[in-house]
Structure 1
């Protein structure tokens, strides 16, 4: 089953304009752009047959081509990463059984997250989309709650049924637990990792659907699938001692740089 990884990246982010080109220092003190670190994360995935950056901005294209990435130019009308992946897939002429959306603001995504994600989708007889979820410990959960108290958009959380099919995703912390957890204590809250694997039919249908009320309220693209009754499989992945965080706000830069240093990333 040929697998394509698309890294959607846009310059005109509402919350953080120019985010893909933000420089992040690694353990050695060397700075690399967010888009380069995300591309390097994608290139480390085993079993990927092709990796492309999909953007509508020449500044991102030039930066990506400079570090050796293949770039597919997409239109400015794409409303989110899934729409951009669909357009990139069409531009490449199809030919892949699985399309992975590894978002350009997730440079800490371990390769095994994506490998397990693809295996989960391929192994499911009903899922049309799959996405990773990571059980949180108290430290991460407290970080989510701190962000919400400060009015910042932090991590997204997910709830799912016994069949692992998603019930809902939210930028609020769900489910409500009503208690405080120690930093190393396992919690019942799952962090949604901003990565998706699609079957081509689901990806092709997505841009034809208008955004529903839940997607508009939460600003979460995956809710369009749920609102249309599409099975979204939540694949639980293991941290293996690695920290994971997405770059959503300028305040996340030092946090991610500290995580890069801790994992010894160049």
Structure 2
């Protein structure tokens, strides 16, 4: 099965303009951009035939080529990462059985998150698309709640049924947990912003109309659910690693701290 990874990256983020080119201080004293660290993380994943940065911005393209990445220039009209992956697949002219959307703001994503996602889709050809979910530890759950209290958009949470089919994704903390001691295990799952799609699912996504929930939440994956396309949640294990995306400027020290802990 031929698998390609696209790392969608745009400069004009409403919440954090220029985010892909934000620099992080590494434990060895080096400084690297967010997009370079994400590309390096994606390039460490086994069983992948090619990795591309997909962007509509010349600054990101130039920086990416400088550290050795292959780049696909995409339309400025792509509304989200899934649309950018679909556009990049068409423009790159590559044949693929599986397309992986690896978020350009998540350099802490372990390789096995994506490898297990790919394995799940290889094992069940009926799955149109899949995404990893990670059970929150108490500290991560507390970070989610703290972000909401302070008006910040943090990580996304996911709820799914016994068959692992997604029921909903939200930027709120779902399911609701009453204040006080958290149940053990924590019932909140962090949605890891990685997707694997069959090409047919990508085409169906582009043909579908964005629904009210997608617009309200600002979550691209809800278009699949609102149009009756199953999303399979693949539960992954952190194995002691801290996972967090860079959503806001306040997340930079969180990620730098996690990088120091990994060194």
TM range, smaller chain:
over 0.9
Summarize the alignment of residues 37-56 of structure 1 with structure 2, pairs less than 5 Å apart.
37-56=37-56
**Aligned counterparts of 2:142 and 2:124: Cα–Cα separation in 1:** 33
Corresponding pairs, count: 263
Q: Residue 180 of structure 1: CA displacement?
A: 3.3
Q: Residue 92 of structure 1: CA displacement?
A: 1.9
User: Which residue of structure 2 aligns with residue 90 of structure 1?
Assistant: 90
- What RMSD in Å do the two structures reach over aligned CA positions? 1.2
* Contact 1:9–1:53, Cα closer than 8 Å, also in 2: yes
CA displacement 1:155-202 (0-9 Å, x = unmatched): 1000000000000000000001214346x9530110000000000000
TM-score w.r.t. length of structure 2: 0.98
**Aligned counterparts of 1:180 and 1:77: Cα–Cα separation in 2:** 45
Structure 1 residue 169 and structure 2 residue 160: aligned?
no
User: Which residue of structure 2 aligns with residue 202 of structure 1?
Assistant: 201
CA displacement 1:186-228 (0-9 Å, x = unmatched): 3011000000000000011212222100000000000000001
Summarize the alignment of residues 241-256 of structure 1 with structure 2, pairs less than 5 Å apart.
241-256=240-255
**Aligned counterparts of 2:184 and 2:257: Cα–Cα separation in 1:** 22
Q: Residue 111 of structure 1: CA displacement?
A: 0.3
**Aligned counterparts of 2:114 and 2:254: Cα–Cα separation in 1:** 22
TM-score w.r.t. length of structure 1: 0.97
Q: 5+ unaligned residues in a row in structure 1: which ranges? A: none
SS, match of residue 157 in structure 1: strand
User: Which residue of structure 1 aligns with residue 220 of structure 2?
Assistant: 221
Q: Residue 123 of structure 1: CA displacement?
A: 1.7
User: Which residue of structure 2 aligns with residue 136 of structure 1?
Assistant: 136
CA displacement 1:88-108 (0-9 Å, x = unmatched): 111122411000000100100
Q: 5+ unaligned residues in a row in structure 2: which ranges? A: none
* Contact 1:181–1:187, Cα closer than 8 Å, also in 2: no
User: Which residue of structure 2 aligns with residue 191 of structure 1?
Assistant: 190
Pick closer, same or farther for the CA change 1:138–1:96 going to 2, 3 Å. Answer: same
SS, match of residue 152 in structure 2: coil
SS, match of residue 72 in structure 1: strand
**Aligned counterparts of 2:243 and 2:185: Cα–Cα separation in 1:** 15
**Aligned counterparts of 2:101 and 2:180: Cα–Cα separation in 1:** 34
SS, match of residue 188 in structure 2: strand
Summarize the alignment of residues 112-123 of structure 1 with structure 2, pairs less than 5 Å apart.
112-123=112-123
**Aligned counterparts of 1:113 and 1:190: Cα–Cα separation in 2:** 14
**Aligned counterparts of 1:4 and 1:243: Cα–Cα separation in 2:** 26
Q: Residue 135 of structure 1: CA displacement?
A: 0.3
**Aligned counterparts of 2:45 and 2:66: Cα–Cα separation in 1:** 21
SS, match of residue 32 in structure 1: strand
Which segment drifts farther, 25-34 or 184-193?
184-193
**Aligned counterparts of 1:228 and 1:142: Cα–Cα separation in 2:** 33
Summarize the alignment of residues 95-106 of structure 1 with structure 2, pairs less than 5 Å apart.
95-106=95-106
